[in-house]
Structure 1
């Protein structure tokens, strides 16, 4: 397992890694928004888009008094260091109208688009503003279900098999969205 040195935010690798990116939104036409975001992921520099899971309608998590979310997971092969990839994702969010509160107070509120690095190879990173694997990934069916659409046998560093994690969490309220 690779760990970034405190303050550096870079994982030294000899080549590209697979990065799994969670996508979500619940403001406006979320399906169209996520489709557009997937197209933008195809343009991330030094990265190759490999695929996206099905889209799922999911119940809000954290702050429950809001519209259901649409969630998916995409996978890219990237040569970008993790903080650079995060900057690219945050730029895409901003382009789609996402505004993040500086104090994080809107963490579980409604959003046009949310892009999170769920996994970056087998790296474990704990830096201000970036934790990989994504915190609570192992507790969130709305991320685990689409992740397992893409790869049936994957481990979450520090938590074990994603399939085992999914077997321990409530899966209710997650429904695939039929393709149009």
Structure 2
């Protein structure tokens, strides 16, 4: 059985457009078929200071992968494209060639030590909601009960 999964992508190191394109290509080769992709949005870094703006996009893929194997795949693709995993306390956010977040996995809600679905902060992040609203404005958050467009309209950022 396959499910629509919504992913947020971001890049602020190197050739940002090429990084996003490479991530999309690898995701469609290994995770499933592309249903929709937003345009790229240039945004300021969130949660840290950097002179390097991000390019952000949202994707919808149709996948047969379960959530945890999908998470492992996204992390493997991040590493393949040059991302290093942060390990020092207090440095959760940093410049990166690619970041891939699982935003929604169908209407599933999941809380595990390694993954929370829906993404726990997506409703607070305009850089996530704007591209997501482009491809899925009526998608309803399964726990907040509001559409992506409604979340964007009330986003504090």
Give the superposition deviation at 1:104: 6.2
SS of 1:155's equivalent in the other structure is: coil
TM-score using structure 1 length: 0.81
TM-score using structure 2 length: 0.92
User: 1:103, 1:124 → 2: CA distance?
Assistant: 29
Asked if structure 2 preserves the Cα contact closer than 8 Å seen for 1:66 and 1:109, the reply is no
Asked if structure 2 preserves the Cα contact closer than 8 Å seen for 1:124 and 1:133, the reply is yes
User: 2:155, 2:90 → 1: CA distance?
Assistant: 26
User: 1:94, 1:120 → 2: CA distance?
Assistant: 22
Matched, 1:32 2:18: yes
Query: Equivalent residue for 1:87?
Result: 72
CA-based RMSD: 1.5
Query: Equivalent residue for 1:109?
Result: 94
Matched, 1:48 2:37: no
Query: Equivalent residue for 2:5?
Result: 19
SS of 1:31's equivalent in the other structure is: helix
SS of 1:43's equivalent in the other structure is: helix
Pairing 1:1-180 to 2, within 5 Å after superposition: 15-45=1-31, 47-102=32-87, 105-159=90-144, 160-170=146-156
In structure 1, the gaps of 5 or more residues are 1-14, 172-180
SS of 2:30's equivalent in the other structure is: coil
Asked if structure 1 preserves the Cα contact closer than 8 Å seen for 2:107 and 2:142, the reply is yes
In structure 2, the gaps of 5 or more residues are none
SS of 2:69's equivalent in the other structure is: helix
Instruction: Give every structure 1 segment of 4 or more consecutive aligned residues whose post-TM-superposition deviation is greater than 6 Å.
Output: none
Q: How many positions carry a matched residue from both structures? A: 156
In the TM superposition, what whole-angstrom CA distance separates every residue of 1:136-160 from its partner, at most 9, and x where no partner exists?
1011111111111112211112122
